[in-house]
């Protein structure tokens, strides 16, 4: 055993899933700062603590003035959060499902995102919008879309999509303290898979990707619940002798160009995988940036995998076909590695 291993500090961890990690982050933030508020539909304890129980226990501890159940009105939720943020509070507003952000697009895009710019920096809007989405649970076309590209295209909003419970806690802590509006997308099954979380998990900087696994043949970039699929493919590719560097983007806007481009230059190949539609998706921006900065240095064209250009199907077999699966990632990675 090396001296480095003997001297390495032991990090105490606890098992928790994404739901518990978000709850812990909200609890910690609300205990530290009385200006942190939570609002949304059915989030109080007498209503179950939200659609999947993320806010359970908060209203009992902090009261219904700070944990506010609202009417079923996305515009009212976001409008109230914007007003509270401009008044010096730090609201965390829940929009139950990402598809429902469409009801409040005017508030989000024309107000939350732009007020700091239009006021010459005199008005800040430090708010977090929580929302849940993701295919794989047969919730169909109006409940499972990934619309992160819409918000990435809007200046003034940060977009975060965590994968691990540790990232959920750390990124939430950072987002709540950020001076700008942050949308955090809670991606499907990332909420329900227990993992180790450091007991003292602190804030994780927004805009910083995580190199999950080092490699030398190809870089695969992904985020959210698609990371589970990527890691399945990673295991099979590793067995087949392909050295894969896996990067979890974590923040989609602003995305960590430096980490991705450095990795892609090292491996010479880049594959971007996301659940959102391939057409006009975040992968297109990453691919274009890589081609622009690494032209002549890459050994193969940048690969992109995403959902087909259609609504999320309800039927299980169609939904499975809609989602990128491990064999597709393996085949595309092997195709790119075969190029030189």
Which positions are annotated as active-site residues?
143
Supply the DSSP string of 57-112, one letter for each residue. Answer: THHHHH-TTTEEE--S-HHHHHHHHHHHHHTT-EEEEEEEEGGGGGGGHIIIIIII
Per-residue tokens: 311? 């609504």
Judge whether 98 and 276 are in contact, CB under 8 Å.
no
Q: Which helix (H) or strand (E) holds 321?
A: helix 316-322
State how far the Cα of 326 lies from the Cα of 332, in Å rounded to an integer. Answer: 10
Q: Which helix (H) or strand (E) holds 218?
A: strand 218-222
Per-residue tokens: 276? 């959102």
State how far the Cα of 305 lies from the Cα of 276, in Å rounded to an integer. Answer: 9
Q: Where are the alpha helices (DSSP H) in 104-225?
A: 105, 115-118, 148-152, 165-177
Per-residue tokens: 101? 């952000």
Estimate to the nearest angstrom the gap between the alpha carbon of 177 and the chain centroid.
17
Burial group, residue 280, by CB count within 10 angstroms (0-12, 13-18, 19+): middle
Q: Where are the alpha helices (DSSP H) in 128-281?
A: 148-152, 165-177, 226-239, 257-267
Buried b (16+ CB within 10 A) or exposed e, 54-87: bbbebbeebeeebbbbbeeebeebbbbbbebbbe
> What separation in angstroms does the CA of 104 have from each of 55, 119, 144, 145, 300?
22, 21, 17, 16, 41
């Amino acid at each position: 055993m090396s001296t480095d291993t003997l001297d390495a500090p032991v990090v105490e961890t606890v098992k928790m899933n994404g739901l518990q990690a978000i709850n812990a982050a909200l609890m910690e933030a609300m205990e530290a700062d009385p200006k942190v508020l939570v609002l949304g539909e059915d989030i109080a304890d007498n209503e179950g603590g939200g659609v999947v129980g993320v806010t359970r226990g908060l209203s009992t501890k902090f009261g219904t003035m700070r944990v506010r159940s609202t009417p079923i009105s996305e515009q009212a939720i976001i409008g109230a959060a914007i007003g509270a943020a401009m008044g010096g509070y730090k609201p965390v507003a829940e929009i139950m499902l990402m598809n429902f952000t469409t009801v409040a697009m005017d508030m989000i895009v024309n107000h939350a995102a732009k007020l700091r710019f239009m006021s010459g920096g005199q008005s800040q809007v430090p708010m977090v919008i929580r929302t849940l989405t993701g295919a794989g649970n047969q919730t169909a076309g109006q409940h499972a879309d990934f619309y992160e590209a819409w918000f990435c295209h809007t200046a003034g909003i940060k977009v975060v999509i965590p994968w691990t419970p540790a990232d959920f806690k750390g990124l939430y802590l950072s987002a709540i303290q950020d001076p700008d509006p942050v949308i955090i997308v809670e991606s499907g099954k990332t909420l329900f898979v227990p993992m180790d979380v450091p007991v003292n998990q602190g804030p994780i900087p927004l805009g910083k990707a995580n190199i999950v696994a080092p490699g030398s043949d190809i870089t695969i970039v992904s985020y959210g619940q698609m990371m589970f699929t990527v890691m399945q493919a990673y295991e099979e590719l590793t067995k087949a002798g392909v050295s894969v560097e896996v990067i979890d983007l974590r923040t989609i806007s602003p995305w960590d160009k430096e980490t991705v481009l450095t990795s892609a230059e090292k491996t010479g190949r880049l594959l971007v995988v996301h659940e959102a539609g391939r057409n006009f998706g975040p992968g297109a921006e990453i691919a274009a940036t890589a081609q622009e900065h690494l032209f002549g240095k890459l050994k193969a064209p940048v690969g992109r995998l995403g959902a087909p250009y259609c609504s999320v199907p309800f039927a299980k077999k169609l939904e499975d076909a809609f989602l990128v699966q491990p064999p597709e990632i393996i085949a595309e990675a092997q195709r790119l590695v075969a190029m030189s």
